[in-house]
Amino acid sequence: MVVVGLTLLTAACKKEEAAPAGLSSTTIQGSWAITSGEGTEWRKGDGIITPRANDPSLVGYKLVFEDNMMSVKDIMGNVVFGPSTWNLDDASGTILIGTDGSNGLGFFTIKNFVAGTSMDWDQRDPIDDDYSYKVDCDCFLYFQKFLKMSKMP
């Protein structure tokens, strides 16, 4: 009986991260400006080689969702990625942009979603297919992104 009670208590204490309230294929539509960015660099076989740090390189870029297509526009309004299909799993709060997480913009977990206001995106930890060969280090690297966005009018 004690084992059953402990098992139930342990199961009740487990907290799984809930998907953001209000997140759906409808509420994500429109333009979202990247307001801040961070990144972590991974080397295949070694793990994280550069700790998470500020990365302003994408600040001001806009992610534009129109129906089932998404594009990324630079500060001048030029399309720098896309249009590409996207798939939102609103139950888990994840979004896949492109054919898979390794080809396209990537696979992200959406956090802190406030419909019509803001959201955060955390790119997944790398899998083998995510790494790209870099000649200068003769190694395979992956740059994981963490973005904060605001909804544009």
Longest CA–CA separation in the chain, Å: 66
- Average pLDDT of the segment spanning 118-139: 95
3-class state of residue 101 by DSSP:
coil
**Which DSSP state fits 67?**
T
3-class state of residue 43 by DSSP:
strand
Does the structure show a pLDDT above 70 at 94? Answer: yes
Cα(first)–Cα(last) distance of the chain, in Å?
Answer: 58
- Could you tell me the pLDDT band of residue 17, with boundaries at 50, 70 and 90? low
Does the structure show a pLDDT above 60 at 3? Answer: no
- Could you tell me the pLDDT band of residue 22, with boundaries at 50, 70 and 90? confident
